[in-house]
Amino acid sequence: MHDSTQRIATAAPAVPAAAEIVVGVPSCNHAGTVALVLRAAQAGLGEFGSGQSTLLVSADARSSDGTREQVRGLRAENPLLRELGPADGAAVPVSPGVEIRELRMILELALQVHARACLVLDASLTSMGADWVAQLLHPILADQFDIVAPCFARHKLDGGISNGIVYPLTRALYGKRVRQSLGSVFALSGRLVERFLAKGVWDIEISALATDARAMTEAICGEYAVCQTFLGPAEHAASGPSLDLSSILAGVLGSVFDEMNRNVAFWQKVRGSEPVRWFGTPVEMGGNPPPVDAHKMWESFRLGCRTLQDVWALVLPPATLLALKYLARDDAAGAGLADDLWARIVYDFALGYRLHVINRGHLLRALTPLYLGWLASFVREMDTAPAQDVERRVQQLSMVYEAQKPYLISRWRWPDRFNP
């Protein structure tokens, strides 16, 4: 049994022998928002879970800001709310980032009660609607899917890292068109929960891991049934100091590249991609999108071309370096990174990450000016386009990633011999 189980106190009130649905909220220092999420989940279960046995669980092993006190206060409203946490006197180390220990607690409880479906929610959400519960659980309970990924509403140019790197890359690698594979909300079938725990998928203590990235890739590689559902916007309360773009990029891509290294035997066999079933209807974003300064981003790209050549030369082939040098010239104003060049750059950085050519954090941060160059190109092209055309453009880019995948496989297998 996992070490997290040894630290879990008996849930209060006592857990029943069986429950069809478990909704869990892992938290660590979310005193300002955990009650909002639990109330929304409770309302959603009241609407969707009528006639079914359900469990609503808060898992918290490390909070020191009053989060657990907030949860206990909610028990006056919902006496059936369960709490999972450390056993009395247990020492649980505090670390920032994703609540891996707490997630394991929830999954172990779902396995214990033989749940048919387990929904994991993000304790930092401020925009969750009660209807999310039904939208995320229905595909598992009614249509026998094993994992449901949310697709949150966004302004058309939001989510640049997802649009330009994560979605096209994971689609090309694993062959499934999961539009937003990163986040902290997802639903799992009982049999997938059992597989995750049996394999020790989260028997790790890496606080920066994007847990759902592992959930999705594990499900796809295990050939479980994957689907996605449209939800409203995902707005989160700030937790600690804001991270700069380089840190965000390094955190996201570190998780994606780690999964890439872990699943190489699977993705090297995949060719092309296939659609993944959608549930629900797209949600329109209201309000004006935040302004985007493409000129400033392009200047950051040009600065990187002047100052990071030595670092980039560790991972990028000479032909790519030459193309970047041309794009950074003064007389190349209005130019942009071509899709095939951009896809190869991402693949090259994935290989450099695998080979550990320099400190991995430094390597991923060195991608930032290149990403800004791609994003500036994308914004200039799509700034006045309607949202549906932006989405078509992302799908077009993803097809280029797929077309360039043989380049990745060749470099991955023969990194020293394939250097065009």
List residues bridging with 82 in a β-sheet: 57
Q: How many other β-carbons are positioned within 10 Å of the β-carbon of residue 96? A: 11
Strands 186-189 and 54-59: unpaired
Helix or strand (DSSP H, E) at 197: helix 190-199
Q: How far apart are CA 281 and CA 292, in angstroms?
A: 28
Burial readout 275-293 (b: 16 or more C-beta within 10 A, e: otherwise):
ebeebbeeeebeeeeeebe
Q: How many other β-carbons are positioned within 10 Å of the β-carbon of residue 299? A: 15
| One-letter identity of residue 79 | P
Q: How many other β-carbons are positioned within 10 Å of the β-carbon of residue 185? A: 21
CB neighbour list of residue 120: distance below 8 Å, 6 or more residues apart: 24, 25, 26, 103, 106, 184, 185, 186, 187, 188
Termini Cα distance of the chain: 50
Torsion of CA 358, 242, 67, 50, to 10 degrees: -90
pLDDT value, residue 385: 93
* E strand map for 127-204: 147-152, 186-189
Burial of 272 (0-12, 13-18, 19+ CB in 10 A): exposed
pLDDT value, residue 151: 95
Ranges 285-294, 380-389, 397-406, most confident: 397-406
Task: For residue range 43-100, list pLDDT tens digits in order.
Answer: 999 988 777 899 999 998 778 888 888 988 898 888 789 988 875 444 455 544 457 8
Task: For residue range 296-345, list pLDDT tens digits in order.
Answer: 999 999 999 999 999 999 999 999 999 999 999 977 667 889 999 999 99
Q: How far apart are CA 52 and CA 48, in angstroms?
A: 9
**3-state DSSP assignment of residue 245:** helix
pLDDT value, residue 332: 65
The pLDDT confidence band at residue 295, using thresholds 50, 70 and 90, is: very high
* 125 phi/psi in degrees, rounded to 5: -65, 140
Q: How far apart are CA 180 and CA 151, in angstroms?
A: 6
The pLDDT confidence band at residue 416, using thresholds 50, 70 and 90, is: confident
pLDDT at 189 > cutoff 70: yes
Q: How far apart are CA 184 and CA 27, in angstroms?
A: 11
Does 65 or 190 have the greater pLDDT score?
Answer: 190
Domain ranges of the chain: 3-279, 294-413
Cβ–Cβ < 8 Å for 125, 37: yes
* E strand map for 232-290: 277-279
List the structure tokens of 190: 């009982």
pLDDT value, residue 11: 63
| Mean pLDDT value across residues 109-132 | 95
Average pLDDT, the chain: 88
pLDDT value, residue 57: 95
In the chain, what percentage of residues exceed pLDDT 70? 90
Q: What is the DSSP letter of 11?
A: P
The pLDDT confidence band at residue 418, using thresholds 50, 70 and 90, is: very low
Q: How far apart are CA 120 and CA 25, in angstroms?
A: 6
pLDDT at 417 > cutoff 70: no
pLDDT value, residue 79: 79
Cβ–Cβ < 8 Å for 149, 234: no
pTM metric for this prediction: 0.91
CATH superfamily assigned to domain 3-279: Spore Coat Polysaccharide Biosynthesis Protein SpsA; Chain A (3.90.550.10)
pLDDT value, residue 16: 82
Q: How far apart are CA 174 and CA 182, in angstroms?
A: 14
List the structure tokens of 50: 């009528």
Cβ–Cβ < 8 Å for 38, 74: yes
Q: How far apart are CA 53 and CA 46, in angstroms?
A: 11
Specify the range with the lowest mean pLDDT, choosing from 72-81, 180-189, 224-233, 307-316: 72-81
pLDDT value, residue 291: 85
Task: For residue range 376-400, list pLDDT tens digits in order.
Answer: 999 999 999 999 999 999 999 999 9
| Mean pLDDT value across residues 198-209 | 65
Ranges 12-16, 218-222, 237-241, most confident: 218-222
pLDDT value, residue 7: 42
The pLDDT confidence band at residue 212, using thresholds 50, 70 and 90, is: low
Q: How far apart are CA 326 and CA 89, in angstroms?
A: 63
Q: How far apart are CA 269 and CA 205, in angstroms?
A: 30
pLDDT value, residue 240: 61
Q: How far apart are CA 122 and CA 27, in angstroms?
A: 8
Ranges 38-42, 283-287, 328-332, most confident: 38-42
